[in-house]
Chain A
Amino acid sequence: MSALTFTLKKDLAQKLDVSPLTPDLLAGKSLAEISATLLWYGKKQIRVDEAFEITGKDTNEIVFDQSTSKIDYIGSGLKTGRITVNGDAGAFLAFQMHRGNITVNGNVNDFAATEMAGGLLLINHNVGDYLGAALVGNKKGMKGGTIIVKGNAGDRIGDQMRRGIILIEGNVGSYCASRMLAGTIGVLGNVGEYVGYGMRRGTILLTQTPKLHATIQDCGIHTMPFLSLMFKSFSDFPSKFAHINQNRVHRFAGDIGNDGKGEILVLK
C-alpha cells in the first residue's frame, strides 16, 4: 500500500491546524471520511479535501507534500506510525508526540516538539525557537524521545526540558537549555549567549567552549566513561553524532543559581 499523501493545493492565508491527520486518528477510515474531516483554518473550519489533494491509502504512513510554514500541529500527539513532511512545517510540529517517527525535509517554525514524550523527530533543515519546550504556563517541557536537527536552531532550545535527547548539528541561538530540568542536549555548532541559564539538572554537550555566565562553574577536564555509553546509544542515529567516539571533556557545572546539578560538557 502506498503512503496516504496530503498534497497542499490551497494557497493558505491563515494557519491550518492538521492535528486530526495522524496515523492513529485516521486508522480504519475511508477516503470519504478522511476527506470530510474538518480542520481549523484561522477561525473557521474547512474540509480536508478543500485544502489537500489526497492520494494513497496507508494511514500508518502519512506524507504532507508541498507543505508550508502555515501548517501547524503536524503529528500532534502521534502514537504510532510515520509522518514525512516535504516542505516546511509550521508551529507545534510533533506537539505532545508519544511514539512513532516524524521526518521533515524542510524548515520548521517555533514550538516544535512541545512537551514531546517519545519517538523520533528528524528535522533536515532549520528549526525555530522553543524546540522541546513546555506549553506556555506549563512547568515541564519535553519528557522523552529523540530530536535530531541537521541545520540550525533558534533560541530557548530545550526550555524546561525534563528528559530525552536533542541533537543539533548546526548552531543554536541564545538561552539554549534555559531552565532545563534534565535530559541531554548536544550542539555541534556554536551556541549563543547564556547557555544553560537557570538549568537545574541535565547535560549539554558542546564542541567548543562558549562564553559562560557567572553561575556556571568550571570543574576541570575529565575522562568520563558514561560518554561511551551515550555515544554508543547514538550510533544508530541518522546524524553526525553517531560518529563521535570521545570521552575526554571539559566539565562545567551549573546553573548554581538554580541548584547547580546540571553540566556543560565540552569535547576536548
Chain B
Amino acid sequence: MMINGVQIDDTFAEAFNMRGTRVIITAQNHKWAYNGANAMTGFATSVIGCGVEAGIERELSPQETPDGRPGVAVLMFAMGSAVLMKQLENRMGQTILTCPTAAAFSGIEGNDRINLGKNLRFFGDGFQISKQFGGKRYWRVPVMDGEFITEETTGMVRAVGGGNFLVLATSQPQALAACEAAIEAMTKIPNVIMPFPGGVVRSGSKVGSKYKTMFASTNDAFCPTLKGVTDTQLSEDIESVMEIVIDGLTEADIRKATYVGIEAACKLGGENGVKRISAGNYGGKLGQFQFHLRDIMNDKSLSGGSA
C-alpha cells in the first residue's frame, strides 16, 4: 500500500488495556492552567519508568469548565487502578495544589471513582471546608494565594494504551518534520494523548536485552546506524526512524488518531523524504488490541479533522 509515495507496511501496532482518567485544570488564565497541567503531566511518558502516561488533551474555554475559568483537560493512563490513583494524588499534591490560582475538577463520568482532592484536603489542617453543589462534593483548602478548590473524586474508565506508528525517513530532520505534522493533526482529536516529549519518541524498544537487568532495550532492527550489523528492518535509504505513541479512552479513538497522524505525515510525501510507515508490536502475543495500519488507512470513515 502506497500513500503519496509513502509505503504503509502490512503490520500492526499492539496495544494494551489500561485505566484512564480525565482531570480539568482551571486557573486565572490559560498561562497558569498550562503551568499547572504541564507540571502535572511532566515525566509521564511511559508507565515503565513514570507510573503513568499523561498529557494535555486540549484547551478549554471558560464556558467549558465547571468554575467558568480558562482551563485545560488532562488525560492520565496507568496499567492498574491502584497506581493510577496513587500517581494522580501525588501529582495533584505536588503540582496543582502548589500552582497559583489552579483548581482541579473531574473531567469524566464513570462508575469507578478515584480520589482527586479527597486526601489533599488534609493540607488544610482543619480549616478545609467541604461544599456539595449539584450532587458533587468539592473541597476548599485555604492556601496562601486564597483558596485551593478541588472536586473530591474523578471518574476512572477502561482505556487503551500503546497504539503507535513509526515514521521512516531519509534524514533526521525529515523524520521529525513528518512527526511534527502528524502530532499537529493528532492533537485536534479528542480522547487521546501522545505522552512522549512533543508527542514523539526516538528510542523505540524491543523486549529483552543482553544485560540481565534490562527488560527492554534499543530496537536495533530500526536503528539506522546498525544496518550492517543487525537483522535490520531498514532499507539503504532510511537514515532516521521516529515513533508516535498514542493512549486513548477507546479503541476507536486510537484508530482515529492513527489515521489522522499517518495521513498528515504522508501529506509531506516521498519527495520530502518520508518513505515508510510501520508500527511496533510484540508478535501479537501480549496486547489485547491490534491496530492494523492498512486496515485503518483503508477505513475512509476515519478521515476528517475531528471525530
Contact = CB atoms under 8 A, between A and B. Distances in A.
Interface of A: 163, 182, 184, 201, 203, 222-226, 228-230, 232-233, 261, 263
Nearest to A222: B146
Contacts of B103: 225
Contact of B132 (A163, A228, A261): A163
Nearest to B128: A261
Contact of A229 (B126, B129, B130, B149): B149
B138 A229 contact: yes
Interface stretch (B62-70, B114-122, B208-216): B62-70
A232 B68 contact: yes
Contact of A184 (B68, B127, B131, B149): B131
8 contacts: A182-B130, A184-B131, A223-B146, A225-B103, A225-B146, A226-B147, A226-B149, A233-B133
A228 B138 CA distance: 12
Contacts of B130: 182
Given A203-B129, A229-B131, A261-B126, 4 more contacts: A182-B130, A225-B147, A228-B67, A229-B149
Q: Which of A182, A184, A229 has the most CB of B within 10 A?
A: A229
Given A225-B103, A225-B147, A261 B131 contact: no
Given A225-B67, A225-B69, A225-B103, A230 B131 contact: yes
Interface of B: 66-69, 103, 126-127, 129-134, 138, 140, 146-147, 149
Contacts of A184: 131
A229 B67 contact: yes
A132 B131 CA distance: 18
Contact of B66 (A203, A224, A232, A261): A232
Nearest to A224: B147
Nearest to B148: A225
Contact of A203 (B131, B146, B149): B131
A218 B67 CA distance: 26
A229 B66 CA distance: 7
Given A225-B67, A225-B103, A230 B149 contact: no
Closest 8 CB pairs of A and B: A233-B133, A233-B134, A228-B67, A228-B68, A226-B149, A226-B140, A229-B67, A230-B133
A157 B149 CA distance: 28
A227 to B, nearest CB: 9
Main secondary structure of the interface of B (DSSP, over half): strand
A233 B133 CA distance: 6
A222 B146 CA distance: 8
Contacts of A201: 129
A261 B67 contact: no
Contacts, number: 43
A187 B138 CA distance: 22
A229 B133 contact: yes
A226 B68 contact: no
Q: Which of A184, A226, A232 has the most CB of B within 10 A?
A: A226
A226 B138 contact: yes
A220 to B, nearest CB: 11
B66 A226 contact: no
Contacts of A230: 131, 133
A183 B130 CA distance: 9
Contacts of A223: 146
Contacts of B66: 229, 232
Contacts of B69: 225, 228
Nearest to A163: B132
A223 B28 CA distance: 12
B52 to A, nearest CB: 27
A263 B131 CA distance: 12
Contacts of B68: 228, 232
A222 B103 CA distance: 17
Q: Which of B68, B127, B130, B131 has the most CB of A within 10 A?
A: B131
A225 B131 contact: no
A264 to B, nearest CB: 13
A225 B101 CA distance: 9
A223 B67 CA distance: 13
A233 B138 CA distance: 12
A20 B66 CA distance: 41
A225 B66 CA distance: 11
A229 B140 CA distance: 11
Contacts of A203: 129, 131
Nearest to B66: A229
A119 to B, nearest CB: 13
Nearest to B28: A225
B149 A225 contact: yes
B264 to A, nearest CB: 38
A12 B129 CA distance: 47
Contact of A261 (B129, B138, B149): B129
A261 B132 CA distance: 16
A90 B38 CA distance: 58
A33 B27 CA distance: 60
B148 to A, nearest CB: 9
Contact of B127 (A163, A229, A233, A261): A261
A224 B66 CA distance: 15
B68 to A, nearest CB: 5
Contacts of B129: 201, 203, 261, 263
